[in-house]
Amino acid sequence: MTGFGSARRGARGLAVDVEVRSVNHRFLQVKSRLPSPWTGFEPEIEEEVRKRLERGSVYVNVAARHTAPERQLRLNLPLARRYADLLRTLGRSLRLDGSLGIEDLAALPGVLGAPEPDLREMEQEFVAVRGALSGALSRLVAMREREGKALARDLDRRCAALEKGVGRVAKRAPAVVAAYREKLRRRLAELLEGAGTAPREEDLAREAALFADRCDVSEEITRLRAHLGEFRRTLRRPGAVGRTLDFLVQEIFRETNTIGSKAADAEIASEVVALKGELERVREQVQNVE
């Protein structure tokens, strides 16, 4: 399911912004981008996401900035003095002319820069990241729930259409055997006309019984109706139901295919084609359900 959520938290002179995006995926995949001090916390980010979501490709972006001036920049004065001493020594040794300016020293590595936080400090600051992530996930979940309700209404309508199609198959199935028996009677009568005999009723009954046994789809229809009923009940359950719906769609496809292979009838074959077309649309939608 698609969704987006963002949140901001502040603590200890730190402002944290978290954005969470999700797109459709059969399983749950989490990708995160964090500022360099917190890259080691990626497992914690994924754990928080997995507590709230079960499907989708989820992208987490964390941005942070220190609002306290003393945390934004620091001066390493001992290092600057060491640089100055070494550069003067270099100039004297090589008899080079030139003056050493403050801009030259400030540009050297490590003289000016943000202080490196220690592990305890990073853990304390990560509390703000966790709080912003929780807020962003709550907004993303709310958006996905709204989408889920719309998907549930659409799937419910499609389920009703499938049930009507199954009903038409069930109504047509008994007539298939009767039509086969009558067709067999006419065919045998034509073949036996020259011999002056007529087809025996017991032979017709035996052949019709064999045909009825081969093309009987009553069990498949019963299971189809049960699966469709369970599908609609699952749609109304709270929580994550996407994988259950996915499994039920596979079972509905299996029974529909069996009906198509067993029922030797043009009307039923046409109905099966229509059922498969609707089922394919249901399967595509189910991939979007949490």
pLDDT in tens, 52-87: 998 889 999 999 887 665 555 677 778 788 888 887
Domain identity same for 19 and 107? no
Domain identity same for 209 and 261? yes
Domain identity same for 127 and 170? no
Last residue of a domain, one of 93, 113, 133: 113
pLDDT computed for residue 249 by the predictor: 93
pLDDT computed for residue 124 by the predictor: 75
Q: Which of 229, 233, 227, 232 is nearest to 247 (CA)?
A: 227
Contact (Cβ atoms closer than 8 angstroms) between residue 111 and residue 73: no
Domain identity same for 266 and 282? yes
**What is the C-alpha R_g of the chain?**
36
pLDDT computed for residue 181 by the predictor: 61
pTM above 0.85, yes or no: no
Question: Is the pLDDT score of 117 beyond 90?
Answer: no
- Eight-class DSSP state of 44: H
Place of tokens 């220690």: 118
Domain identity same for 138 and 166? no
Q: What span, in angstroms and rounded, lies between the C-alpha atoms of 6 and 149?
A: 22
Domain identity same for 140 and 156? no
Domain identity same for 129 and 47? yes
Whole domain around residue 85: which residue ranges?
A: 74-113
Q: Which of 210, 214, 227 is nearest to 282 (CA)?
A: 227
| pLDDT tens string 161-220 | 999 999 998 888 877 766 666 665 566 555 555 555 655 666 555 665 555 556 677 888
Q: What span, in angstroms and rounded, lies between the C-alpha atoms of 269 and 246?
A: 25
Window from 10-19, 39-48, 128-137 with minimum mean pLDDT: 10-19
Q: Could you tell me what percent of the chain has a pLDDT over 70? A: 81
pLDDT computed for residue 182 by the predictor: 61
Domain identity same for 28 and 8? yes
- The tally of domains found in the chain comes to 3
Question: Is the pLDDT score of 233 beyond 80?
Answer: yes
Contact (Cβ atoms closer than 8 angstroms) between residue 289 and residue 242: yes
